[in-house]
Structures are given as C-alpha cells and as structure tokens.
Amino acid sequence: MYYLSCISFISILLAISFPYGAVAENHQNKTKRPNILLVVLDDVGMTDLGSFGSEIKTPNIDNLANQGMKLNNFYTAPTCSPTRAMLLTGLDNHVVGLGNMYEELSPNQIGKAGYEGHLNNATISLPEILKQNGYSTHMTGKWHLGLDEKTSPAAQGFDNSYALLNGGGGHFNNLGLFGKPALYRENGKLVSLPNDFYSTKFYTDKLISYLETEKNKEAPFFAYLSYTSVHWPLQAPQESIEKYKGKYHQGYEKLAEERLTKAVELGIFPNKSQLPPLLHGEPSWQEVKDEQRKVEERNMEIYAAMLDDVDTYIGKLFDYLKSINQFDNTLIFIMSDNGAEGHNIKHGLNELKPWIEACCDNSYKNMGKADSYLLIGPNWTRASVGAARLSKGFTHEGGIRAPAIIKLPYSKEKSMDKNRVLSKFISVKDVMPTILNVINIPKPQKKNTTHNVIDMTGHDFLSKDKYIAEMGWELMGRKAYRFKNWKIVNAQPPYGSGNWELYHLGKDPLEMKNLAEINNVQLQLMIKKWQYYAKNEGVIIPDWLSGY
C-alpha cells in the first residue's frame, strides 16, 4: 500500500512539473515542452497548395492540413522582410526595423527609428525568448533581416543557422536578384555555397543535420525553415520540371477558374466567389501566340516543380521527426510570407531587363536551369491569388492574404478541430503570441526582460477571446487600413488613383466597387484610423511620394 502511494505521489509530482507531456508516436517519450517547427514559404499564393485548391502535388503539406487547421483569412505584409519582422516579434514592422525593405529605403527613411533595415531591439525576438526558456534554436534559409554578423540570425538567438541574407537568390548558386551575388552566413560567418547546392534540398538537409546534433538532449527545439521557393528566379531540377510537362496547356484563365472552383469546395473562399479581371493590357490565353504559349506553359511547369519539391523535402523533414519520435510533440506552423508574386519585366521590375539579357540564357531549352532568370508574371499569378485583386507588393487583398496551416502538438490537439478551416481574421503578428501561449511562456514585457521592450500587439488566435478584425499597412507608399469588413486602400497609378478608396470586403472582396464618394462618413472614419496607426507605429512615407 505504501509502495502504491509512493508511485501515485511521484506520478502526480511529474504531472505537475511537466504539464506539457510530449507524446510521440508511441506516446512514451520523456516529458518535455513541445518542439516548434516554423516553415515559411516564399511568394506562395492562396490557391497554390493542394489543400487550398491547387493541382500541384503537395501531399505532405495537405496531410498536415488535414491533421490541423487551415487559415484562410491570414494576413501578412505586402512583401517578405516586413512580414518576417512581424512574425518573429509580434509587432508591426515599422516599429521593429523593417518599416521598409532595406533595398528600397528612401532618403528620408534612412537612419530613422523603425527603418534600420534589420531587427532592432524594440522587443525580444521569438528565438531569443525561446532560448531563454530552455529551447535549442535552429534556422536555415532566407533571413532578410540584416546583412552583417551583428544583425544575423546568430545575433538573434539562434544556436545554429545557415542563412541567405538577401531577399532572394539563385536556387542552384549565389546568383543575386539584381546582379550582386547573394550572401550567406553560417552561425554569423560568411560562407560559400557547396557545388551541389539546390536551395530547397540544402535548407532542409542542413536543418535536419542541426536537429540531429541535438536529438539526445533534453531540451525541446525551435526550428525555423525559411524556403526561398517559389521566389524568382524560377529554377528547378529538370526531372522535377518534367513531372508537370503538358499540364498547363489549357492556359492561365482556365487554371484560375478550376482552382477557384476547388478552393470554394474546400471552404477557402465563400460560395459565389469570383476572379478579378486580367490586368489592363494583358492578353487572354486565346490571344497568346503558339510560340509564346510554349514559354508561358514552361514557366508554370517550373513554378509547379519548385513547389512540388518544397513539399517533397518537407515530407523528408516530417519523416525525420517521426524517426526520432518528435513529430507528434511538435507544434508546426506553415505559412507564405505574402501574396503570390505577380510582377514581370513589364510590371514593376523593368530595371531587371538589361541585366537579365546580359547575364542569363532564357531560351526555351534552358528555362529553369541555373543560368536562366524567369518570373511567373501576373497572369498565372491570377490563378494563385484566387478571389482577390493584385498580388505581392500591394496592400490590396491579393498582396497581403496568404495561406497558412497549424498543427498542434499531441498534448494540445483536443483543443483544435482537425481538418477545419479557421476563418477568423488572423495577422502574422498573432503567430508569436499564439506559439508562446501554447507552450505557456509569457510574452516579453518590460517587467520580465533585460531591456525595455514594446508589448506585443498580436493576439493568441487560438484563444476564445474575441477581437476585432483590424490592421494597418504601409509599404513604399502603398497604404491600407482594415476595420471589421471595411477597408481603405491607397495606391499609385496605374493600380490606384493615388487617393483613398473605400471598400466593403463582405460585399466586395475583389475591391472593385469604390464607395469613397457615396460613403464619405465611413471614408473619413477609416482615414482617421489609418492616421492614428501611422503616427503610433512611426510610419514615414517615402519622400519620392511627397504630396501623395
């Protein structure tokens, strides 16, 4: 009797000491806090994943979505580094150093607080606070939050890191985005890429190697896997591209229709959702000449191959976690960093044209190889964004709405409906506070940190607390503010009038019916909200837009 009482007492003591009970496939793992795997996809659109309506084969991501929840109202910044800044801090990008991408800083923004071009010390980043609470921390892939050693992942709390410092690069080599070679650091030190480099494979394998060195330790891990696919240049192994040969002969308009139909069936978009019109001046598929059709189809085949490869290597990582009995005990969050990329040489990136012509071979036979340099363009992107207008770089819905998936660790799964679409408004700023609440770590606050910090503005999106859909945006002078179903947008011509436009997203998700002239009261209310947001977060409109 005394023996049984001791056993019971010890069991109770263990349960109190380790409330998170990491449970692996056999549910007999040593008890510890859940691991965290954060995966960021680059420029992947709302309907690019199979579980969101795509024909592209993404079974590993889709299976995860079926185990967890799909987020279909997940909002980001219009581009990559501002989103990553919010993701890792739970704060607006204008506060934490990425008010603008460092490549695009205007003269009046340089040297100003919130526009450092790297994460500042306004708060403690997610890897830092996890490391302080006993996590081992690892990162591979795109960083884009600082170029030098003092602003690299090694200085932001990562025990191990292999990071692309720039906004993108060649997927087989260090071919830069605008002519300069892409830079990489491992654990803070500049390094050169291996000869057999393929970005998706390399980042996955490198992360697994980091985790392998820690697998026998008691500490839980935080792994941040930041792919560069499907960011341009479009490049993939030929065998991957061949899997999609001939799959897109129907053209971009038909693909957009098929994806939207499937996305509606899956609950990603509501019934009666519609596609936006083709951008002004863009030809219908019927108007595209046969020779150009071949090129267009090949572009999309490469794009599909890149995302297919991402899924393949995510599957490899999942298999590894299962092999060490850590998959069930891992909180997994997968997201894209912004809406799908829709620029091409004619739309917004015409400065690339002379450089591409000098550096690269974009002949049909060479498309997708290491010395080719291709962009997907706005017409295929129309299929990727679905029932939304415009794309990456814009504060319209197509630029700031992205797919996301969450799977909770086994010990927390009872609180989550599986294979469910979570349709509440969720911001990328909400990811960090949600993760911290799941693992019961307090948010960084002035009273519990080593230096003054700004309290997070993000919410725990899994909590029962109700909060209003509200968020402000600004990037390179493109502005927006959302309050409930109302939204104002201000974009320069030819994408906007240069004046505030007012939309009701519940009735007009495509942002096509400007209500500014007929509802001036609501317009002025929304403008005041944006002005308060801009003042509170330190927004500085670039001086090349003086008077805008």
Catalytic residues: 80, 144
CB of 275 closer than 8 Å to CB of 256: yes
Which ranges of 22-168 does DSSP label H, i.e. alpha helix?
A: 59-67, 80-87, 126-132
Q: What is the dihedral of CA 42, 494, 288, 269, to 10 degrees?
A: 50
Half-sphere exposure of 512 (CA within 13 A, CB side): 13
Alpha carbon distance 472, 481 (integer Å):
4
- Sequence-ordered strand ranges (E) for 276-329: none
Give the residue carrying structure tokens 């189809």.
Answer: 297
Alpha carbon distance 496, 175 (integer Å):
34
CA 265 to chain centre: 24
Alpha carbon distance 382, 277 (integer Å):
9
Sign of CA dihedral 453, 446, 160, 326: negative
SS3 138: strand
CA distances (Å), origin 312, targets 228, 259, 364, 488: 15, 21, 26, 40
Alpha carbon distance 506, 488 (integer Å):
13
Alpha carbon distance 256, 254 (integer Å):
5
Alpha carbon distance 408, 424 (integer Å):
18
Checking DSSP bridges between strand 69-75 and strand 189-191, what pairing results, if any?
unpaired
Greatest alpha-carbon pair distance for the chain in Å reads: 87
CB of 225 closer than 8 Å to CB of 141: yes
- Sequence-ordered strand ranges (E) for 452-507: 470-475, 478-483, 486-490, 501-504
Using alpha carbons only, what angle is made at residue 297 by residues 296 and 299, rounded to the nearest 5 degrees? Answer: 65
